[in-house]
Amino acid sequence: MSLLSRLFGTKPDPREPLRPLWLRVIDLARDPEWYATCGVADSVTGRFDVICAVVSAVMIRLEASELRAESAFLTEFFVEDMDGQLREFGVNDVVVGKRMGKLMGLLGGRLGAYREAILAGDTETLSAAVSRNFSLTDNGSAQCVAQRMMDLARRLEATTDEALLAAEIAA
């Protein structure tokens, strides 16, 4: 969809059906248990780590279904959100593109690191990936984070495509 079409509303935004799922991703990443129980650093970096973990789990689920194409739209929401966050932090227009490239690289790298372990159900390998990619407090536990990610992946797997688009993730 072209920028002009989006701006002037000549066509519906094809991403709109995924907005509830994106909002649910944000909600899951804000769950205090990541920080209180698992010891993820409650900082900008720690929050970014969690959003990447949740987005990765959801994207892995989307890639394994008929919703494969929709994973690109979820990525667009991620980019839009991160762009807004950078601007809110006062990053100027000249630097935003460069920072966005770096953030997308981080998301892609983490998605790759987490994908194989999640698909194999290998919590030990996932824990090692978490150790390399998460900002944890002194009491933080990569194993705890990996277990939460695996639990989320199992819940996502048990969720139908229709329910996933409605952001109704299985319990």
Mean pLDDT by 10 residues, the chain (171 residues): 62 87 96 97 93 96 91 87 72 69 84 96 98 96 98 97 95 83
* pLDDT for res 3: 63
Q: How far apart are CA 55 and CA 63, in angstroms?
A: 12
Contact of 135 with 40, CB cutoff 8 Å: yes
Q: Select from 66, 65, 67, 84 the least CA-distant residue to 18.
A: 67
* pLDDT for res 111: 95
* pLDDT for res 5: 61
* pLDDT for res 96: 67
